[in-house]
Structure 1
Amino acid sequence: MGAEALRALLARVRYEVLPARATEEKVLAHVPRDVVVTVTASPVKGLEPTLALTERLTAHGYRVVPHVPARLLRDDTHLKDVTERLRATGVDDLFVPAGDADPPAGTYEGALPVLRRLTELGRPFAETGITGYPESHPLIHDDLTIQAMWDKRAHATYIVSNLCFDARVLGDWLARIRRRDVTLPVYIGAAGPVQRAKLLSMATKIGVGESTRFLTRHASWFLRFATPGGYDPERLLARGAAAFTAPSAGVAGLHLFTFNQVAETERWRRALLDRLGG
């Protein structure tokens, strides 16, 4: 990948964090204000920790994108209350996955009805994100996940790809969704320079974040963080260079799953930018 293209991706970065006890302190200590922070939500703890952390980080000057899973919303009134609370905080970007709560907290089974309701409410957020699945969803056929993106496109402004470690798979997926005329910009979802021991510790302590659950269900991924020559985010970017930077791919930037290892993630990003002369 050319240095200029890689610098551009690293400059358009989002850090996903889990709403744990020490998250606010870690973000304040290590994340620059020009980096977007996204906050996941837990089907066990509900939306309150996400909303509260969003309010605090926004007050500190960050642009924060809360995750509001459809299956954690009780009904239309709850959605309206959450929307008003976030708008009062200054939030202008919302990420709406279906979520994993089983059973759902209320009437919403998936993201599309929530997105439609937000449109009916006058599109209160300037940006609204939805999930993309480069790798097969455990419960949904690939063609259906792409069809879902097509159905949601009128109500969303961007896609965040779910966690993926394979540049080839990401590239193939980008090509597939573009062939299906899904034109929303995409943030490439990738893990930061995660240490396996810390990741396991986080999974044990929390075990509820969407990202953490994904890895827990795919235990073989842990080996990528532990073995020599295993996962390296820089290598993923290099191998995906052509696919990620092609104008037709419509890649808006990187969405880094930090698993709350924000210090390590930011050090890695800064060191890479320094080597690239940025």
Structure 2
Amino acid sequence: MRDDRETLTRLLSTVRYEVIPTATVEDRVLESVPRNVTVTVTASPVKGLEPTLDLTERLAAAGYRVVPHVAARLIAGEAELARVVERLVRAGVEDVFVPAGDADPPVGPYDAALPVLAQLSELGNPFPRVGITGYPESHPSIEDDVTIQSMWDKRRHATYIVSNLCFDPRVVARWAVRVRRRQVALPLFLGLAGPADRAKLLTVATKIGVGESTRFLARHPSWFARLAVPGGYAPEALLRNVVRALRSPDVSLTGLHIFTFNQLAETERWRQDLLARYHR
């Protein structure tokens, strides 16, 4: 349908590329990512926030809109949070993403995102845009009722929501409708795994670290299983099916948050190919 094609074009034109701070990712961004694409930088529970902050500063200096993941469980306390805020503001950052993070145990007093979000509000809302995570499917370690209540509580401190990976378009659609029924009006970005070559992904996983790769695998086993089957995962098909399932006058997606796994050239080529096709 024409309306679906227009929606797909809009979503593909409003993207965020999530990258993992590794030794080579800065060069990959510079080589493959246009300056009008927002880059988000993950935070490692093993390496801490420093690689995230360092890469954020370098990419911001290169002219990108950069969104660091300020993981609550990696922050030692209020003083460190204030230092992180000062550093990011000095780098020109205007958007942060605040997940709880996977550090177990937490390195400081924050065991969830909400206390950090509240502290940012107390600091005068230094960032015009603040993102939080939404969970279309059950969280592996948090009850569904808790995640829904948490989103309701966090909405006062945030300006948008990014959905966690989900591979069932009907589940995504039902979740988006439920968010709106809860009177949460924040813009919704669809979390989408980009095109991934299994061999290259394993190489990236080695650089990330076995521990972090294992954590990701535990959260998203179905995606890795599909990668092993030829034709088992196609981001375009999932995206189209989500758009079809979400034909609701009350719910619309703002854009895409693409998990690139640092396969940036492949992701940008895929996006441009789709845009050219839908424009035709």
TM-score band, normalised by the shorter chain?
A: over 0.9
TM-score by length of 2: 0.94
- AA of the residue aligned to 1:6: L
Contact preservation (8 Å) 1:40, 1:210 = no
2:73 maps to 1:41: no
Moved more, 60-69 or 245-254: 245-254
Name the % identity. 65
Contact preservation (8 Å) 2:22, 2:207 = no
Q: Give the unaligned 5+ runs of structure 2.
A: none
Give distance in 1, aligned partners of 2:110 and 2:246: 34
2:87 pairs with one of 80, 85, 88: 85
In the TM superposition, what are the counterparts of 1:240-259 in structure 2 within 5 Å?
240-244=242-246, 246-259=248-261
Q: CA deviation at 1:208?
A: 7.1
User: Per the alignment, do residues 168 and 256 of structure 1 end up closer, same or farther by CA in structure 2, a change over 3 Å counting?
Assistant: same
Give distance in 1, aligned partners of 2:149 and 2:18: 26
1:232 pairs with one of 231, 234, 255: 234
Q: CA deviation at 1:3?
A: 1.8
Contact preservation (8 Å) 2:205, 2:213 = no
Q: CA deviation at 1:247?
A: 4.3
User: Per the alignment, do residues 210 and 92 of structure 1 end up closer, same or farther by CA in structure 2, a change over 3 Å counting?
Assistant: farther
Partner of residue 188, structure 2: 186
1:5-37 alpha-carbon deviations (Å, 9 max, x no partner):
110000010000000000000000000000000
Give distance in 2, aligned partners of 1:4 and 1:249: 16
Give distance in 2, aligned partners of 1:203 and 1:4: 35
- AA of the residue aligned to 1:133: Y
Give distance in 1, aligned partners of 2:214 and 2:164: 12
The alignment's C-alpha RMSD in Å is: 1.7
In the TM superposition, what are the counterparts of 1:134-149 in structure 2 within 5 Å?
134-149=136-151
Give distance in 2, aligned partners of 1:251 and 1:203: 30
Give distance in 2, aligned partners of 1:244 and 1:58: 34
2:152 maps to 1:150: yes
Contact preservation (8 Å) 1:195, 1:226 = no
2:133 pairs with one of 110, 121, 131: 131
TM-score by length of 1: 0.95
SS in 1 for 2:279: coil
Give distance in 2, aligned partners of 1:80 and 1:90: 15
Contact preservation (8 Å) 1:163, 1:211 = no
SS in 2 for 1:77: helix
Q: Give the unaligned 5+ runs of structure 1.
A: none
Contact preservation (8 Å) 2:117, 2:158 = yes
Moved more, 172-181 or 236-245: 236-245
Q: CA deviation at 1:139?
A: 1.2
Partner of residue 107, structure 1: 109
- AA of the residue aligned to 1:85: R
1:219 pairs with one of 209, 214, 221: 221
Give distance in 1, aligned partners of 2:272 and 2:213: 23
How many equivalent residue pairs? 278
- AA of the residue aligned to 1:70: A
Moved more, 219-228 or 28-37: 219-228
Contact preservation (8 Å) 1:42, 1:209 = no
1:175-233 alpha-carbon deviations (Å, 9 max, x no partner):
12212222211110010011122222222321379787323554342121231331111
User: Per the alignment, do residues 33 and 97 of structure 1 end up closer, same or farther by CA in structure 2, a change over 3 Å counting?
Assistant: same
2:272 maps to 1:270: yes
Give distance in 2, aligned partners of 1:240 and 1:24: 31
Q: CA deviation at 1:244?
A: 4.3
- AA of the residue aligned to 1:102: D
